[in-house]
Structure 1
Amino acid sequence: MESRVALWSFIILFAAAVTAVPYSPTYNYGFDAANLVKRQTQDPIVVTKLPLANGTVPLRPEIRQMKQNPYKWNLFLLSMSMLQYTNQNDEISWYQIAGRFIRSTLEPNPNIKQVFMEFLSQVLFRLVQMIATWFTDPNERTFYHAAAADFRIPYWDWAASPPAGESVFLPDFESEGIQIYGPNGWQYIANPLYSYKFNPLDPKVFSQGDFPNWTETKRAPFEKTDNRSVAHSIEHARPALQQRLYTLLSNYKDYGPFSNKYWGTATNQSQFDSVEALHDAMHVLVGNRGHMYYIQYSAFDPVFFLHHTMADRVVTMWQALYPNSWVTPQVAMEHSFTMPPGEVQDVFTELKPFYANASGAFWNSEMANDTLHFGYSYAETIPGQAGSKSEDRTRLIAAINRLYGSSSPSTLVQKRKRALERRDRGKFSQLRQGTLSDDVSPDFSREPHVAASLVTDDNTYTEWIANVHVQNGALNGSFTIHFQAIGGPHFPDTGWELFRSFSLSCFCGLGVNWSTQGRDILILTHTIPIHTRHTEAANMKLVRFLMKCANETVTIELKNGTIVHGTITSVSPQMNTALRTVKMTPKGQDAVSLDTMNIRGSTIRYFILPDSLPLDTLLIDDAPKPKNKARKEAERGTGGRGGRGGPRGRGRGRGRGRGRG
């Protein structure tokens, strides 16, 4: 037991990011691993069921969950690195697998992608088993064998709220090199989640734009990869993505409209969103004019497969919710691996090039309708021990509500209704009448939320969406359309993807124009949820109001407790505020006079405005509005050394404190 604890402590820092020294292209095992890999992977492309682990079906983990097991995480990175470094001409190499995947991605049927993901999972599973046997220390080998036994490829959940203090876009995607432990000790190698390096780059394959010059995959390639920009874009888009996912799982009960973006116009249906359109949005956000941004280059980015495993999970959850709806016959709209446009696809269409057995039978959607057929499941969809489908469905619905319900309009409405009901009881009504004791300071700063006004007497609400038709290939490649709310602040000249607008993303090939190829124009459908923007309407009004407050003298409290008193020069759409004739009082310090000061909007807690204006206090974050006495002291700039209030606003400090809850 002691040796296990010591070993665990030793490797807990697996794959720590390092940037100080040059990295090796891949891990050096001390022998020619490439030949061993080649001998192990020369079978035909037969996708079979992965083995059980101790009689149970292993689960595909969320990537953050996999990181919590350093043995499994290390095997994952080593196998990814090995596959990426395999000779590009080998049939089982990252280059060949990605290229084959791209040729199949034009199918409207998600099952071809499911089988392809299982093919990649099978390749990685074999590599993981092999690497685990190369650890020579008996204790290490035991732990690595256990981690390898139930290894399954992870998914990246870009829709759920990330853990507190973390970003949706993992830091593990951003470091060029990683320090990693393997059978031959610690080594610093190229991070297989950061990029794929072409060896060599074929400019005939990557012939468009700047792609012939890039020897590795790029994200937001403005001079070089800008993963921070990608992370910020995804962070801003996540609430809308989450709401779209929640709506798809709760309202789309037929497979046709749920599965693909052509269904709405092809059948004149009213449901225009789809899991394919949602999947496309992430391609555009992650790629941002890099490889993930364009269909024909997208699969080479390592994040591509983590994203597609997430898409497979979404389809699997939908199947569990609506087991009686499955693949509907549909005409192929674009070229696939073996099928030209115009051919009818149904549940028995062969999912080439993937064999189901060595006899030459191909997979089809009927065979691929259950992840258990491939030897994996997800935590939300694994059947319970009781075998009750009703209980399994109830458990799944609870998980969906927990993971993705926070941005749904129904959840927002119910939260606001409960908040308003609590406000209307007891001491709040006394406060309105001016009869509440001074020693109590409840939060009366929150005005009724926009969403609450949408609830009718019969406890229903109106959900607003924008359905959009757009021509596929309308522009040279993928593109994003931004919409501005009427009456909202104008867009900045740059950084639109970070501005709080609503937008849709169209994922297309680079250099593809259907109108010049004698093809029918394909119309894609997308849906934009407007409710997530309703929830920001109050903030938008505050920004517009502040932008008109030039030359007004205000008091601002920052989130770190600093009080700033000065005259507004300008306010940006992001609430960045420029002041002149400033008196600044940091928390616990004396006041300082400044000629000018610029304050970032993200640091502001609230504004206190002159009595001459229609609003006296603008709350920026969730802090309570200051008591009248503290407000007057703040306006006069006194009480700079006062202590902060406790949870009910009764704190006392030295002198005349700004007691506030």
Structure 2
Amino acid sequence: MVSISTTSVALFAALLHTISAFVVTGATGGTGASGERPFRLNIVDMAQSGGPAWDLYILATQRFQALDQKEQLSYFQIAGVHGYPQIEWDGVKGTPNPRYPGYANHADIIFLTWHRAYLAAYEQILQQNAIQIANQYPQDTAEQYRDAATTLRIPYWDWASSAAMPDVTTQLNITVRTPNGTQTIVNPLAAYRFHPVPTTNEFPPAGDFPFSQAPNTVRTPQTDFAAQTSAINSRLVSNANSLKDKVYGLLARQTQFAAFATTAYPASMRNGSLDNIEEVHNQIHALVGGDGHMTFTAFSAFDPIFFIHHAQIDRLWAMWSAINPGSYVIPLKNDQGTFAQPTGTVEDINTPLLPFRSQGSEFHTSATVRDMKDFGYSYPEIVNWEVSATELASNVRTAVNRLYQRQTSLARRRSNIRRTTKRRDWYINFQGLRQTTTTFAINFFLEEPPAAPQDWATAPNLIVSQIVLADNSIDKVAPQAISQIPLSFSLELAMASGKLNGTDTDSVTAYLENNLLWTASFLNGDGCEPGALDGLDVSVVDQEVVESARMDQFHSYGKYNLHPELSYKRTESVQSGRGGRPGSRIMSFSGCSAGRGRR
């Protein structure tokens, strides 16, 4: 801890102790008369630029985390708003016998809007800490640091462009310029260090990891409380193509907010596309967390990478909204509930986003958080001032095509040889029940997977590890996970290697029938337990695509065509060992043992 902060932290904590109602305004300052606002930047770019903004971001995070865990605006209390330790925050009372321990909304229509308000609160408090630090710099640099504090916003991690965790979020120590000169400090982005460690009453058991014994947050723990960074990055990189394709598909093909935003929107109303940003968000949580904090919804916000990850989710939603400004929150029942919201509430645009106050006794709603300008930030791709809505949508489509389109399709756009071409994209539609205590992965492959389960997650022929998060509700309700997995990138590789003879429907169907396989495993690499696959429903669909040569336009997408011969549905518990292919169906159950995984 930087020593100059000790006194100011104590004074700041004393001030926080007197706070009763906290009004969420977001970070303030740096805005212009035409609507211009400071950007939330890519964390890689922000770190490379360095300077006062980066120094303050690191030091403010450190200072935030050092506050007494009993204080209302401490890092511990703000992280705890999301889940455990299941206590009231800012006087907002809980419901009797809640299903979920925190205020956070998941698997419902206000998943995105609740987390936007949450990030705004976090960013606001972080900036307050940064201002306190900026005022301590020597006179010759104080103005630079005060200006940087005014425009400071949280960064995002664009895992869809570069899947591995940024180095600045994993290195144990980091060097910054403090008011007392350049110092190397413990990196506050790598972990949050509890002080004190929560009790079992505050952090009850979940999964296999002893959360009430961990002195700090941990990503993919093994036998100790240290992060397995190399293993995490290997998993992320193995899923990189799928993540990029998923993000591109959501931004380019999905036009309904409810279908884009949440796993709760019924599959029967999605017109064949099961993908949604909440499920993609879930994948990152689990790929990073393993058996640790990020995987478990009720503990995830304690990991500092949570807020960088959620800034990316908010950014993708903001980009989608710029392209689809007319679609927003619709009434939808929340079957899960939260600490403060009863199960079965029908949520709409005016549902309070508890516990975030807009003023006094009034709370933010999806209506009040819709426009980023009301919270004082934007993103580099969304310069939504002094341009029309049409120009903005065109600019954002260009950015999406540049950032997330498959290189083969991008190359065809840039070629003048073929101005219009048709192709057929292929997908796996996935539905599966979340389990009560166990997070597991369905690993999809083209051709035989490795013999050892520990090699599945990073196999060269892996399409994706589709992760199904453990359910974190207190009464262990198991909501359904839905997702759509792109196959086209893997099929392009098969075509290039000569394993796939053609792109016509018959050729692809025959190839998939013989070569599309899957396995089930825990995140530590062990095979899954019997019964873990109840409710699994896998189908294969294709979709005709008419390509556009213009960078400011998306392709045209046709209807989905279901291939029943490539579909699989399981309604009963699986048995241990290898299962066969039922009839002509392709899905093979491989390597699932009766073992429970690491305890």
TM-score tier, shorter chain, comes to 0.7 to 0.9
Whole-angstrom CA distance in 2 between matches of 1:79 and 1:275: 30
2:588 equivalent in structure 1: none
More moved, 208-217 vs 146-155: 208-217
Q: 2:459 aligns with which of 489, 495, 499?
A: 499
2:46 equivalent in structure 1: 66
Confirm or deny: 8 A CA contact 1:173 1:193 kept in the other structure. Answer: yes
Whole-angstrom CA distance in 2 between matches of 1:477 and 1:27: 40
TM-score computed with the length of structure 1 as normaliser = 0.66
1:75 partnered with 2:62: no
1:339 Cα deviation after fit: 1.4
2:299 equivalent in structure 1: 297
Show CA shifts across 1:447-504 (max 9, x none). xxxxxxxxxx97211111111110122x62322110122x345454423221131234
2:424 equivalent in structure 1: 462
Q: Which amino acid aligns with 2:426?
A: W
Q: How does 1:591-610 map to 2 (within 5 A)?
A: none
Confirm or deny: 8 A CA contact 2:251 2:320 kept in the other structure. Answer: yes
Q: 2:314 aligns with which of 312, 315, 319?
A: 312
Confirm or deny: 8 A CA contact 1:265 1:523 kept in the other structure. Answer: no
1:335 Cα deviation after fit: 2.1
- Aligned pair count reads 466
**Partner SS state of residue 423, structure 2:** coil
1:104 Cα deviation after fit: 3.1
Q: Which amino acid aligns with 2:434?
A: N
2:75 equivalent in structure 1: 94
1:324 equivalent in structure 2: 326
2:520 equivalent in structure 1: none
- Structure 1 residues 33, 263: CA separation in 2 closer, same or farther (over 3 Å shift)? same
2:373 equivalent in structure 1: 372
Q: How does 1:547-586 map to 2 (within 5 A)?
A: none
- Structure 1 residues 123, 257: CA separation in 2 closer, same or farther (over 3 Å shift)? same
1:174 Cα deviation after fit: 2.0
- Structure 1 residues 268, 311: CA separation in 2 closer, same or farther (over 3 Å shift)? closer
**Partner SS state of residue 464, structure 1:** strand
Confirm or deny: 8 A CA contact 1:59 1:376 kept in the other structure. Answer: yes
Whole-angstrom CA distance in 2 between matches of 1:458 and 1:129: 54
Q: Which amino acid aligns with 1:186?
A: T
1:195 equivalent in structure 2: 191
1:620 equivalent in structure 2: none
Show CA shifts across 1:387-437 (max 9, x none). 322111111111111111135x7447668xx69x79xxxxxxxxxxxxxxx
Whole-angstrom CA distance in 2 between matches of 1:491 and 1:340: 47
1:528 partnered with 2:489: no
Confirm or deny: 8 A CA contact 2:43 2:157 kept in the other structure. Answer: yes
2:391 equivalent in structure 1: 391
Whole-angstrom CA distance in 2 between matches of 1:50 and 1:70: 20
- Structure 1 residues 40, 321: CA separation in 2 closer, same or farther (over 3 Å shift)? farther
Confirm or deny: 8 A CA contact 1:51 1:375 kept in the other structure. Answer: yes
1:28 equivalent in structure 2: 3
- Structure 1 residues 238, 105: CA separation in 2 closer, same or farther (over 3 Å shift)? farther
Q: Which amino acid aligns with 1:63?
A: I
1:318 Cα deviation after fit: 0.9
Q: How does 1:99-114 map to 2 (within 5 A)?
A: 99-102=80-83, 103-107=102-106, 108=108, 109=110, 110-114=112-116
Confirm or deny: 8 A CA contact 2:432 2:468 kept in the other structure. Answer: no
Whole-angstrom CA distance in 1 between matches of 2:241 and 2:471: 28
RMSD (CA atoms): 2.6
Confirm or deny: 8 A CA contact 2:333 2:346 kept in the other structure. Answer: yes
Whole-angstrom CA distance in 2 between matches of 1:370 and 1:206: 37
1:184 partnered with 2:180: yes
1:434 equivalent in structure 2: none
**Partner SS state of residue 122, structure 2:** helix
Confirm or deny: 8 A CA contact 2:191 2:217 kept in the other structure. Answer: yes
Show CA shifts across 1:607-633 (max 9, x none). xxxxxxxxxxxxxxxxxxxxxxxxxxx
Gaps of 5+ in 1: 1-25, 423-456, 544-661
1:123 Cα deviation after fit: 0.2
Confirm or deny: 8 A CA contact 2:471 2:479 kept in the other structure. Answer: no
- Structure 1 residues 275, 472: CA separation in 2 closer, same or farther (over 3 Å shift)? same
**Partner SS state of residue 339, structure 1:** coil
Whole-angstrom CA distance in 2 between matches of 1:541 and 1:83: 56
Q: Which amino acid aligns with 1:466?
A: I
1:130 equivalent in structure 2: 132
Whole-angstrom CA distance in 1 between matches of 2:325 and 2:189: 35
Whole-angstrom CA distance in 2 between matches of 1:273 and 1:476: 24
1:476 equivalent in structure 2: 437
1:249 Cα deviation after fit: 0.5
Confirm or deny: 8 A CA contact 1:284 1:479 kept in the other structure. Answer: no
1:402 partnered with 2:383: no
Whole-angstrom CA distance in 1 between matches of 2:469 and 2:272: 23
Confirm or deny: 8 A CA contact 1:264 1:271 kept in the other structure. Answer: no
Query: Which has more radius of gyration?
Result: 1
Gaps of 5+ in 2: 84-101, 501-599
Confirm or deny: 8 A CA contact 1:264 1:270 kept in the other structure. Answer: no
- Structure 1 residues 341, 302: CA separation in 2 closer, same or farther (over 3 Å shift)? same
1:508 equivalent in structure 2: 469
1:57 Cα deviation after fit: 1.4
1:574 equivalent in structure 2: none
Q: Which amino acid aligns with 1:213?
A: Q
Q: Tell which has more relative contact order, 1 or 2 (C-alpha 8 A, sep 6+).
A: 2
1:294 Cα deviation after fit: 1.4
- Structure 1 residues 106, 149: CA separation in 2 closer, same or farther (over 3 Å shift)? closer
TM-score computed with the length of structure 2 as normaliser = 0.73
1:214 equivalent in structure 2: 214
Whole-angstrom CA distance in 2 between matches of 1:489 and 1:277: 25
Whole-angstrom CA distance in 2 between matches of 1:414 and 1:355: 47
The alignment-based identity, stated in percent, is 26
1:328 Cα deviation after fit: 1.0
Confirm or deny: 8 A CA contact 1:192 1:302 kept in the other structure. Answer: yes
1:174 equivalent in structure 2: 170
Whole-angstrom CA distance in 2 between matches of 1:362 and 1:512: 24
**Partner SS state of residue 117, structure 1:** helix
**Partner SS state of residue 243, structure 2:** helix
Q: How does 1:30-45 map to 2 (within 5 A)?
A: 31-41=6-16, 42-43=18-19, 44-45=21-22
- Structure 1 residues 507, 120: CA separation in 2 closer, same or farther (over 3 Å shift)? farther
Whole-angstrom CA distance in 2 between matches of 1:268 and 1:377: 30
Whole-angstrom CA distance in 2 between matches of 1:513 and 1:134: 45
Whole-angstrom CA distance in 1 between matches of 2:52 and 2:285: 30
**Partner SS state of residue 318, structure 1:** helix
